[in-house]
Amino acid sequence: MGEIDPAFIQSIEQRPKLTVTDPGEIPVIDLSALDSGAVDLLVADIGKACEEWGFFQVINHGVPLEVVRRIEAAMKEFFDQSIDEKRKVKRDEAKAMGYHDSEHTKNVRDWKEVLDIAVEDPMVISASPDPQDQELTEYHNQWPEYPPEFRKIWKEYAGETEKLAVKLLELISLSLGLAGDRLIEFFQGQTSLIRLNRYPPCPWPELALGVGRHKDPGALTVLFQDGVGGLEVKRKADGEWVGVKPIPNAYIINVGDVIQVWSNDKYESVEHRVVANSEKERFSIPFFFFPAHHVNVKPLEELTNTENPPKFEEYNWGKFMATRNRSDFKKQAVENIQIHHFRVSEQ
């Protein structure tokens, strides 16, 4: 990733050292039960995993292995290019999709480089966080010239991963006692994106993080990771950081803030992070399943009553994301907007 900024070295030297606990028991769920007719048991297992962990892994998920291998090869070819070549598709405030190198962005301390590509091109999103401003903007993808087949390979992978995301959304909906198609309406005109991550070897793995602790703002994250590992989840039972052991060809699933709000806190969006590795580079591919810009996110009426009143105020997804995007580029020292800002205060 080039030369190291001395200010970055100083900042990570001031961080407390990280401790890694036993990998634990992140649930592993076999989706082949859909073909065997054991749907009720599958739904119950997913509901339990969402409630107790907020994370689970899925096997026999239906995404063809050859499709995964092609996108893995393509992303490695892209990231192996020179920094000048990669920055030809660099993202900025006007072009939100594209390449991003954390070393070259002030005050960003995640030890990685990424390429963001929207599932719908163009992606339609709110232009401003101002509630009175109804202007929309379009984010267009920036496609790298190399490798030559990148765009075709990416589209094939995106299509297969989106099928899996929809399938999981239906199962989670059923686990909440809702109709399987209850939530899919919110994704007509989705703002979803796929992020290609490369985590280079880090000289200070005990001090730096590949990605700092955070929660995902969307509905679902569908993540493919290589065998290097490094993802850690904050276990709800005791608050300990638990490593997610890589399972060959599995996907890691976590519910995001939107599902936490829809479920009225039944399914919690859980903190997670990525630890750095001093010897090996790591690759991962998260699919962030985001609603359409016009969706107003609030606890679902079917899941609230007088005994279980709404725990969150309604907020608009497009305005929420516009606020976060502006914070990312202009107010990096300020806390980013989070769903706890919409939590109803208990009197």
What is the distance between the alpha carbons of residues 123 and 112, in angstroms, rounded to a whole number?
A: 24
pLDDT of residue 105: 42
Q: Is residue 202 part of a domain?
A: yes
Cis peptide before 122 (omega within 30 of 0): yes
pTM: 0.89
Name the token pair of 50: 């969402």
**pLDDT value at position 72?**
97
CATH code (residue 97): 2.60.120.330
C-alpha of 229 from chain center: 16
* Number of structural domains the chain divides into: 1
What rounded mean pLDDT belongs to the chain? 87
243 and 272 in contact (C-beta within 8 Å)? Answer: no
Peptide bond preceding 205 in cis form (omega within 30 of 0): no
Query: DSSP states of 300-325 as a string?
Result: -GGG--SSS---B--EEHHHHHHHHH
Predicted confidence (pLDDT) per residue in 105-121, tens digit: 443 457 789 999 999 99
Whether 185 is in a domain gets the answer yes
In a domain, 6, yes or no: no
Three-class secondary structure of residue 184 per DSSP: helix
Q: For 98, list phi and psi in degrees, rounded to 5.
A: 145, -160
Q: Considering the domain boundaries, does residue 144 fall inside one?
A: yes
Q: Is residue 10 part of a domain?
A: no
pLDDT tens digits, one per residue of 300-342: 999 999 999 999 999 999 999 998 876 555 544 445 778 888 8
| SS3 per residue for 87-119 | HHHECCCCCCCEEEEHHHCCCCCECCEEEEEEC
Residue bearing tokens 């995106």: 158
Is 9 a member of any domain?
no
The percent of residues in the chain predicted with pLDDT above 90, rounded, is: 69
Q: How confident is the model at residue 52 (pLDDT cuts 50, 70, 90)?
A: very high
One DSSP character per residue, 69-82 reads HHHHHHHHHHHTS-
| Residue 347 within a domain | no
| Domain containing residue 135 | 15-342
